[in-house]
Structure 1
Amino acid sequence: MTTHALIDASQLSADANQLVREIENFLATQPARRPNLPAPKPARGSFDLPPVDELIAEAGIVTGPAPRQKKTKDRGLPGGVWRMLPDWALTVRRGSRRQVTVTEHLQLTALVIQRYGWCGRGLRSRSGRRCILGAQAVLYRLGYGDQDTAMAAGRVMDRILAARGIRAHYWEWNDHAGRDEGDVLYLLREAIQTAGQ
């Protein structure tokens, strides 16, 4: 007979708490929300735009290859067992729901994919990697944003794909053969820029 160690709720939420700290740190660095005012229309024929490097820096976009991260040992459950648990286990940690903007939701979706890895063909892999929709589900389970925010973020991604001539929804596009994490993060960066306008 095999003996299995019992895992209590505090252990289940250890890694979720770490993700929540990362999300809260990210949200703390965001500027205060201002009401959306319509941008003044430029006069016909005059387009005085700042240099592209300045626009990229202002948008907070990091260019170039992703920095290599040192592998750290999980402080949560042994052997990354938490990643194999169902997503409902994340609700153990959730307090009250915190509203986020569509732009913040897209930025946090990218953060989840960068933290846990990306997968195609399903919301999550056995090792805990997430597709775009799976990363959105993590945010929802942890109490960041609501279904309306996630659906609005999805519409932004769908519009970008439609502008590229792609008729599939973003979750179908995510699962297409040949797709990789770089493609997904590029779509999310474009959506972040578009939603912020």
Structure 2
Amino acid sequence: MSGLGLWQAPAPLLPSLHLLHTISVLERYGWCKSLDVDPMGRLCMRGAQNLLEKTGYVTPDARHRAVDHMHTVLAQADVHMQFYAWNDLPGRTFPHVKALLTRAADHAHTIGD
């Protein structure tokens, strides 16, 4: 995590910042589909969130709220499925994932979360 420029003694982040840090983790370690962590060490969206939670950068409650923000953004695009299923769809690319996380972070920030 220090390679990402994150502190050694983490403080849990608001959902908006957690979503942005999820992007940083995926950029650093690589993005994948279907597995939280693939054999090459790449992570899916949920795997990156797991890493951030296990290392103290997000509380379970703030992570849950971040997931709600992702689902809100997906619903606005008329997508009604879990974010991790959306992550695994054929044709899904990392730019799509990054855009979802960015829009969800913006949505969270707008309401002070």
TM norm. shorter chain > 0.5: yes
Structure 1 stretches lacking a partner, 5+ long:
1-15, 25-93
Q: Distance in 2 between matches of 1:189 and 1:112?
A: 13
Tell me the equivalent position of 2:109. 196
Q: Structure 1 residue runs of 4+, over 6 Å off?
A: none
Shift in Å, 1:179 = 0.6
Is 1:171 matched with 2:84?
yes
1:23 aligns to 2:21 (yes or no): no
1:118 to 28, 31, 35: 31
What is the CA–CA distance in structure 1 between the aligned matches of 2:51 and 2:97, rounded to whole Å? 17
Distance 2:46 2:100 in 1: 13
Alignment of 1:55-66 (within 5 A): none
2:40 matches 1:127: yes
- Give the CA deviation at 1:98: 2.0
**Equivalences for residues 78-97 of structure 1 within 5 A:** none
Larger RCO of the pair (alpha carbons < 8 Å, separation 6+): 2
The SS at the match of 2:6 is: helix
2:21 is aligned, of 108, 112, 134, to 108
The one-letter amino acid of 1:138's match is L
Question: Where do 5+ consecutive residues of structure 2 fail to align?
Answer: none
Query: Aligned-pair distance for 1:18?
Result: 2.7
RMSD: 1.5
| TM-score, scaled to structure 1 | 0.53
Deviation (angstroms), 1:142: 1.2
TM-score, length of structure 2 as denominator length: 0.90
Tell me the distance in 2 between the aligned counterparts of 1:109 and 1:17: 14
Alignment of structure 1 residues 4-43 onto 2, 5 Å: 16-19=1-4, 22-24=5-7
For residues 71-97 of structure 1, give each alpha carbon's deviation from its aligned partner in whole angstroms, at most 9, with x where no partner exists: xxxxxxxxxxxxxxxxxxxxxxx76x6
Q: Which protein is richer in helix relative to its size?
A: 2
User: Would you say how many aligned residue pairs link Structure 1 and Structure 2?
Assistant: 110
The reply on whether 1:153 has 2:66 as its aligned counterpart is yes
